[in-house]
Amino acid sequence: MEKEEKKNNQPPNEETTSKMPQNFIKEIIDEHLRTNKYGGIVHTRFPPEPNGYLHIGHAKSICLNFGLAEEYNGLCNLRFDDTNPTKEEEEYVSSIKEDIKWLGFDWEDREYYASDYFDTLYEYAVKLISKGVAYVDSLTSDEIRKYRGTPTQAGKESPYRNRPVEENLELFEKMKNGEFKDGECVLRAKIDMASPNMNMRDPVMYRIRHEFHHRTGDKWCIYPMYDWAHGQSDSIEGITHSICTLEFENHRPLYDWFIEQLEIHHPRQIEFARLNLSFTIMSKRKLLELVEGKYVTGWNDPRMPTLSAMRRRGYPPEAIRHFAERVGVAKRNQVIDVALLEHSVRENLNKNAQRVMGVLRPLKVIITNYPDNTVEELEAVNNPEDPSMGKRKVPFSKELYIEQNDFKEDPPKKFFRLAPGKEVRLRYAYIIKCEEVIKDPVSGKVIELHCSYDIDTKSGLGKSDKKVKGTIHWVSVQHAFNAEVRLYDRLFTVEDPVGDKEKDFKEFLNPDSLETLKECKLEPGLKSAKRGERFQFERLGYFCADLIDSEDGKPVFNRIVPLRDTWAKIAKAQKKN
Ligand code: ATP
Ligand code: MG
């Protein structure tokens, strides 16, 4: 009852409403629906090239394409743009599928490959040759480049441009049949060598590459260029709204030209700005460089901006979707602060992650006046934000671990944690007072604290109304689960790692992006954490049992994010100085 009331007083939960905010793409779609341009249908697609793992930028495109389809009761296809014959594609294909599913989207049985259309594309090319608007060119690729001109200077026509249709048909067939070597000739569209749009200067449609393709094997030795394959693939699938990033805006006249020449279904291409994130790189080529150079442990290293890395690190997929919605769609390129993504992650975990206690850098505390051989099971709340998540028992005993930095021998003024002669509350337990500091006789390092406790201060139950300013977390020594915890931080130290073209982006790798702690003391329940399970370690941050390195009964934890944006503090301090 109480819960119901609370719900009613709250603003609608953004996460459960599926409608995305109005944007210019939706305006175009709405207009098409009004004018019945595509018979009331909305059919989008997500077209990855299987040459790397998906990253957070792709997530933006996935959320947009699948999201629009969902919202307009339409469909969204998954299409692999595999026009380039390369080797390792199978690994990429399966990772891409896994990532899209993980984000929560479903292409049902509509899993397509541009290579499925190689036959149709060939027929289309023959049609264009027959119409006299495509020709086989025997210039070398260098010559073609030279003949192309510059943005301010018209190009020059190839001497082969006016080959008769019959000759072109014959040569094109020979190209297909493998009678030429790589690079000997290409098929080009015959458009306009003087067009101010360089894409219209007789673009290459097919090139010869005697290479094995992951799906078509050795069937083809000519492969369509992306610009030739992409728009036609959309058309073949009956895509209505072909959403792509801004760099394709001036390819649109070419795509329109092909479609009009072929007289086939004409999707509407709509361009939006790529998602760029501060402190992050999104180029697949550069990400591959990090993987191959072993700067990270793989595409799914939790520091990478890939979806498989974010999954492993513990980012909830809903948080990524929410983030994608929050940043919206723009027509101008912009850089989004990575802190916004981290904020979405925190916001989700604040509500959904169970809170527990874990000590990352342990310091032993002995409560000298607490009885020996006694264990109390203290009641702890799993998530104060959500009472339905219940309570649990945490064992308390005479010897505890606390965090090293919760004690200071020489505390500054506003230090409300433990110090000689000072008191602090142990979460869910008692107020203790530091009576004695034990040091290593050789190093002088503090190794143990002897404290006293006040039995009347038991949390929620004690007779005393004594109050202290600080509350710290702890774990009982004899019950502690010893675990490895990996503290991940941003992979780069600068906002724009690729901004300085003079420098290698790898110079900006953060040397402290990973710290591995092997002697962390966690409350005993965490021993049975399942792979992928997420927690808030109180006062420290959010953590996830690693999907790969955890074993049953021996989870390894990744820090997903600290509780607060520690970088904001650093940036603020830097501005002040
Ligand atoms: P590359 O980095 O190799 O040029 P790409 O990033 O364009 O490739 P694709 O596999 O071609 O990768 O991308 C699939 C889809 O994801 C495309 O529709 C592309 O526009 C979109 N996409 C890629 N990166 C971003 C990004 N940063 N923001 C939004 N959409 C993106
Ligand atoms: Mg691309």
Tell the residue nearest (CA) to atom 3 of ligand 1: 284
Longest dimension (CA), the chain: 102
Overall average pLDDT of the 53-81 stretch: 98
Under the banding of pLDDT at 50, 70 and 90, the label for residue 577 is low
Nearest CA, atom 30, ligand 1 = 61
Task: Give the single-character DSSP code of 359.
Answer: E
Give the span between the Cα atoms of 191 and 204, in whole angstroms: 11
Which residue in 60, 190, 252, 284 is the catalytic one? 284
Pocket lining: 274 vs ligand 1, CB cutoff 6 Å: yes
Mind listing the pLDDT tens digit for each residue in 361-404? 999 999 999 999 999 999 999 999 999 999 999 999 999 999 99
What integer pLDDT is reported at residue 400 of this predicted model?
98
| Residue located nearest, by CA, to atom 13 of ligand 1 | 48
Ligand nearest to the CA of 80: 1
Give the domains, in start order, of the chain with CATH numbers: 1-272 (3.40.50.620), 358-473 (2.40.240.10)
Average pLDDT over residues 36-46: 97
Give distance in angstroms: CA of 279 to centre of ligand 2.
Answer: 22
Instruction: Indicate if ligand 1 lies below 6 Å from the C-beta of 171.
Output: no
Q: Judge whether 529 and 456 are in contact, CB under 8 Å.
A: no
Return the best residue to mutate from 54, 68, 226, 245 for the ligand 1 pocket (most ligand atoms within 8 A of CB).
245
Give 1's pLDDT tier (boundaries 50, 70, 90).
very low
Answer yes or no: is pLDDT of 17 > 90. no
- In the predicted structure, residue 107 carries a pLDDT above the cut 80: yes
Average pLDDT over residues 229-234: 98
Q: How far is CA 548 from CA 96, 223, 291, 494, 573, in A?
A: 18, 38, 17, 29, 37
Tell me the average pLDDT across 304-309.
Answer: 98
- Please tell me the number of the ligand nearest to residue 274's CA: 1
List the 186-189 sheet strands across, edge first: 134-137, 186-189, 204-208, 222-224
Strands 431-439 and 514-522: unpaired
Kindly give the residue spans of alpha helices, DSSP state H, lying in 36-140. 56-71, 89-103, 118-130
Q: What is the pLDDT of residue 573?
A: 65
47 touches ligand 1 (CB under 6 Å): yes
Ligand 1 contact, 277 CB (< 6 A): no
- pTM of the predicted structure, to 2 decimals: 0.92
Q: Ligand 1 test: best mutation among 25, 49, 77, most atoms within 8 Å of CB?
A: 49
Instruction: Determine the 3-state secondary structure of 510 from DSSP.
Output: coil
Say whether pLDDT at 505 is over 70. yes
Beta strand 446-453 pairing with 431-439: antiparallel
